[in-house]
Structure 1
Amino acid sequence: MAQLPPRQSEIVIESEQEEEDYFDYFYDRPGSEPGALSIDPDALPTEIVLIDYNESQAKRKVKIEPSECTPYLETDSVSWMDVQGLGSEAMLKEIGRIFNLHPLLLEDVVNVPQRPKVDDYNDRLLIIAQMVMPKPNEEGFISEQVSFIVGKCYLLTFQEEPLRDCFDPVRDRIRLNKGRVRQCGSDYLVYVLLDAIVDNFFPVLEDYGERIEDLEDEVVLNPTRRTLEKIYQVRRELLALRRAIWPLRNAINTLVRGSSDLISSDVQIYFRDSYDRAIQILDIVETYRELASGLMDVYMSSISNKMNEVMKLLTVISTIFIPLSFMAGVYGMNFEHIPELGWKWGYWGFWLIVAAIASSLIFFFWRRGWFENFYPVKED
């Protein structure tokens, strides 16, 4: 499998120097022409994968040319043309010409990342969503824009990374004729793909639930400066998840309300289920954000408690040595006539009294329970 190039939307927490900004949206340079395409130099070459199916059969073609899509614009079957990679400007413009895409529509598709939304272009529907996936063997998640252009009998999708999506279960259902997907139209295909995107938030949130639990233990038992950095990173990533699911929920709600003739009333009912799960995801994200904010308060309390314990220990030590320092100061004076200086056992008597005073104070503080928190906490 080819190594994927680094992307701006990847969440990286390896070090403070490698922390990336993933809160940006695309914006045009001032004075640029509307509809202009901005191609990322690191974007992968564009390829088209076609899946055409009906109730009786399904066929798949890979690496087809845009001109080969023309016969599938008006057929009795459903044609899913998956455009993978956004690095070939000439090919993308050719796709826009063949499908008669508005320049502003093609701009929203190619110039990533865009805010999730739904735009109605009369005979076609543009849906933009953010797909998130857990990073393999690492903390954090990967974000990718997926654009849907819905036609009467076709679906055109655009993905940034061809080797990384959550649509394999849908492809298997089409190939094996499982469920209702091959008995329904392109609007139902849009539903199952959006539903896969929404469902893919749950494993990401599951990872954050485990991370927050680990941080809770770390904050209480052994808070360090690195703990504060972890809490801050989790809060930032949860905010990025919220910014991905919140507008997506609104976009799905637009489809539920049936603002386009391309979405049938039968499929609108299914979108209600996706809308409910989007709300559930948003509730989980908000709950985790509150927990992360609470961890910040717990961290500050833990650090304050540790400081108080240090000050308490220093206070106890100082209290023990105050009378000892007083006695040492008295007998360290340079007066010529001090009665005890001529005593044969004066030196050893001084140390006996010092030991008795120190032992008495230590015993007093122990009976008051002031030494209990100085012992290390034993974990079960």
Structure 2
Amino acid sequence: MAKVETVKRRSPRKVKRSPIGASPGTLIADPAARQSALSLTLISPDECKFIGNASLRDVAESCAGWPVIWLDCVGLANVELIAEIGAIFKLHPLAFEDTVNTGQRPKVDFFDDHAFVVVSAIDDALAGRYEQMSLFFGENFVVTFQEREGDPFGPVRKRIKANLPNRLRTRKADYLAYALIDAIVDSYFPILESKGETIDGIEDEMLSGIGRHQVRELHELKRGMIVLKRALWPLRDALAALLRAEVPFIYPETKVYLNDTHDHSVRLIEVVEMHRDMLTGLIEMHLSLSQARTNDVISFLTIVSAIFIPLTFLAGIWGMNFDPGASPWNRPELLSYYGYPIALGMMAVIGFSLVGFFRWKKWL
């Protein structure tokens, strides 16, 4: 029995939304959300302090004593905790609704004394899984919310610990917010480089010989490019909005660095578009090569059939039952002593003649 190949279908991501008619700013936890855990980073020009498994009391006590604080909340299950964080930093409730209801479009919103940024970060490169990261920042604080453990902020934490001179220790919270956003944007580059190498490998493989698995791989890669485009295009617009913003908690010297991150996002979009065009071309090339291969097979079978048609005709005539004794017209050559080799020789001559004719016409 032939082995049936099963295709694993990817279940679509369900975007959680508030119930219809709910009051603006209503926080409803997703049943699948992870339990919330807080980590606190306290920053000053002279020192820095990290508090894992921080409590709200730690957060409230640190707000007045440190120039810049960074609160990182991993997991969005505890909406009461999230609401209390909003109360401590006086964050807008509408932004918290977008924080809890993940799957938002990357964007930036400005309020009186803080900004709210939503970005899509690569959570699992191999599985192609993304997560929403929400970031609030004001004059002296940055608050980040993640769906689950794992983030690209490791280099930023190392830079905070590094010795002076250290811009992350001497500048305001807007520079820390820039560093976190820049880390998220730069995390896309290794993924795109890996996908580019995969595309080049499939192209080289197709030039050697086409296979059915290549079509599936190309379509999966193209679907991944669409997801990347959906995340990067609005991210570019959000970074442009940060650059244009005239708010007191974003300083002009930070906008110079934000402009560099904006350039990175533009480069990423260009790479995504280039990969999409390459994938579209490879899919079309695969279809063309498959059709050409099919045409070659059909042409070969047609030539083989054309060669055997006259041979079958002769074999059919000589295979008919006649009685030469009844009439001289009833196939007297059936009694020929060399009839069998003569018939085979004639068939061979006709067959080779047709092959030579097809070669002369360059059909073979």
TM-score, normalising length from structure 2? Answer: 0.91
Of 268, 281, 292, 2:279 maps to: 292
**2:82 equivalent to 1:104:** no
1:342 corresponds, among 331, 335, 356, to 335
- Which residue in 1 is equivalent to 2:326? none
Measure how far apart 1:15 and its partner are: 6.8
Q: Deviations over 1:35-92 (max 9, x none)?
A: 2223222322111111111111111111111232113334452111111111222222
Aligned with residue 20 of structure 1, among 11, 29, 38:
11
Contact 2:178 2:258 in 1 (8 A): yes
Summarize the alignment of residues 1-380 of structure 1 with structure 2, pairs less than 5 Å apart: 16-22=7-13, 25-133=15-123, 135=125, 138=126, 140-162=127-149, 164-177=150-163, 179-336=166-323, 337-366=330-359, 370-371=363-364
Return the alpha-carbon distance in structure 1 between the equivalents of residues 173 and 279 of structure 2. 41
In 2, Cα distance between the equivalents of 1:354 and 1:160? Answer: 78
Equivalent residue letter for 1:107: E
Match for 2:152: what amino acid? Answer: C
Cα contact 1:258–1:268 (8 A) shared by 2:
no
Partner AA of 2:163 in structure 1: N
2:327 aligned partner:
none
Name stretches of at least 5 consecutive residues in structure 2 with no aligned partner: 324-329
> How far apart are the structure 2 equivalents of 1:15 and 1:196?
38
With the length of structure 1 as denominator, give the TM-score of the two structures. 0.87
Matches of 1:259 and 1:323, distance apart in 2: 88
Deviates more, 1:236-245 or 1:124-133: 124-133
Gapped regions of structure 1 (runs ≥ 5)? 1-13, 372-380
Amino acid across the alignment from 1:240 = V
Q: Percent identity?
A: 35
CA contact (8 A) 1:258 1:265 kept: no
Q: RMSD in angstroms over aligned alpha carbons?
A: 2.1
Cα drift, residue 27 of structure 1? 3.5
C-alpha separation in 1, matches of 2:119 and 2:130: 10
Q: Please tell me whether Structure 1 or Structure 2 has the larger radius of gyration of its CA atoms.
A: 2
CA contact (8 A) 1:220 1:302 kept: no
Q: 1:245 to 1:185 in 2, by over 3 A?
A: same
Residues 45 and 170 of structure 2 are in contact (CA less than 8 Å); yes or no, is this contact kept in structure 1? yes
> 1:19-47: CA deviations, max 9, x gaps?
1325x654433233322223222322111
**Which one-letter code corresponds to 1:188 in the other structure?**
Y
Q: Any conservation in 2 of the 1:220–1:298 contact (CA below 8 Å)? A: no
